[in-house]
Structure 1
């Protein structure tokens, strides 16, 4: 094989020239800069060139601001020389056999897979019908239509209303805790959380620093009592404190963390958002189906017994990499 031919190949071109396909796991690449014959050469090198036609196309693809830079003859020449030098370095790298370097091979594999993924996703049928949009809106209606919600932190002291003695004792403790809460800066949610964690008698929320998360007015009344919902509506600024709020179950101290406004979006309001989401889901399903076909066609299998015996010591010191890490594709 002559040196010029060797310079222009990434793999053996002799099999292709003889009409034979490359061996499995091998590939032939044409690394000529100019793929089409003809054209007027602006810059030449052994067996290749940058043409005036290509250069004109490149300028048209630039932004007007960048294009203006190359109205200067010197800048235009520097651009052409830069393109040519890049191709000369490719030639020299091939002459040195760097196409077989593990980093080059792995980078080529990654580029191929990335291009394949883009092609598959672009080719996937992702037509979304009006019926599908209506069904998606109905299924996700809670994302688009919901009442106003409030997020509170609370300290709860258990004291059933009929037990007057227990209520009286709980109220004394609640008033003392309220005084401590008022001594905190309004925005000190961590300090109030400490009070809740150390004193609240509701086991579900005490470990969460008394955080009730976001609840609608109806949900708040149903879960904690109408008195809590009424007191919450009176809190208008973040960090505001209620007084001692009595319910049938006991006494609450409330601190407003945030309010979330009501949402009432129609299908027309979110049509494009849903369309994009459904198109993405369809592309994901198409990609999963494509992967399954490739795995079946190339007989992919995993020996779990052998895999389980591969040594893996999480405490061992890290060794110097022996080569680039293999490319991976997440499971669909």
Structure 2
């Protein structure tokens, strides 16, 4: 089909003009494109699109976190499943639903709240200079790597805080009674004395001797288990900010202009080092208490004026600020807005010169006496000192612009010069790379690798790529990255002949038959125990609880606690799948010890948190139910049936 388009371009262009141009008068160019092309989106909420790139980025981040947490135990197949992808989409939809509800209710977050979050962020805290100030250049560089400016990041934090207000208010109102908490905790502590007997498949391996006919039958019924996956050897090009940066070299004039245009970014605002004495008098204190606190502060100020060299000792003995009193009131270096005292505190402190002492300064915390011990004036870093950093920033900006300017041309040349990637590589100075891929993602590669992108792999193994050996489209894999490939060799999936893998098939049959034998014996023994109530053959008694399974498998523990406590002893059989079969004799129930004190309070809090989470989820689901949610195609990038019905 694509060959016909390529070989009859003029005819197809004429036909497209006849079809498209009249329609533009009704819907406009952008509307017409959006009418037909929903492949770039996975869903919409109240008209707000959730793009495939957004979905893919969120999925990659989740996989990357799982890979970091599990290390060598990470299994891509168990994480990148249709169920998990649907859960990810549900999460994005709920975020959008919550954001719309937040906007409808006109909720927002204050500048002070945003500032507190930023200052408490451990990543941002790691950027502090020895004097306590934030290294602005490194902060901007860190955000630039994420494609953001400081203002954009501030708004993202504000947005996050605003959307958290609704679920936080629900969770903050959760309550659990002591009676319920005590009852549930005692149930969790309840023990059951059990004895077990296991039927392991490994104990039956020597007894199993499958016939050739059984091996043949298993092979015929499970051919797909022994298939080798299809493989494609590819050449590929990646166009991204990092690959474009190789061909970008900003001039000194570019760097100087950037410096002049952004001079404020290279200005280090003045800081002071100060010590203070706090006499606490919170906002809700009585007038009498405030007057008493103020009088004490005035008395201390008189002492300091009489003995200015004893400020540290007086602070150590009298200040009610636990964080600084032991250090003689020292607050270290700080700039405006970095101390929680507010505007009045800043105005008083930054009006002082070195070694000067303030009068009484009132804030929401009480009454302060402040002494400035050092002053660092505002300075602007010289161009030569920041030239290298500017070069990095400008290069990144120019590379991003080059990517934006060239993306459409790259997409076109990859399609038009379909038999080779060399023209695109030459024009955009990109390096042709090679790899061998399968239709499934490679767990050995980073989760963010474009070679693991599902849409890209689908394009590589499409008929047009494999059979006609045409370039794939330029695939947007998120993160401002395009990738295109050309298949140079292809090997279809194949099932080896039985003679070639007979030993492997026989091992499978032996394992299946051994497991069947274990299950058969286990079921027969369970029937005998139910009749005889025998105790022989079991392990030593073991006390298990829901919180301490003593090594008993979760499936078995669940079965043990389903046994009727009024009809003991009881026997329960548990199918452990590939691990065989187990029988447990439940002898008795041991009640949990009464719960009180701190443990009961902790249980109340934990149960309340669970209940609050459930209430918050129910609220979000209720808001979602009255929202207009629409799905586009499937979650693997193909335009198949919707993953769920539209909710209108």
Q: TM-score normalised by the shorter chain: which range applies?
A: 0.3 to 0.5
Pick 1 or 2: higher relative contact order, CA cutoff 8 A, min separation 6: 2
Q: Taking structure 1 as the reference length, what is the TM-score of the superposition?
A: 0.36
Q: Taking structure 2 as the reference length, what is the TM-score of the superposition?
A: 0.19
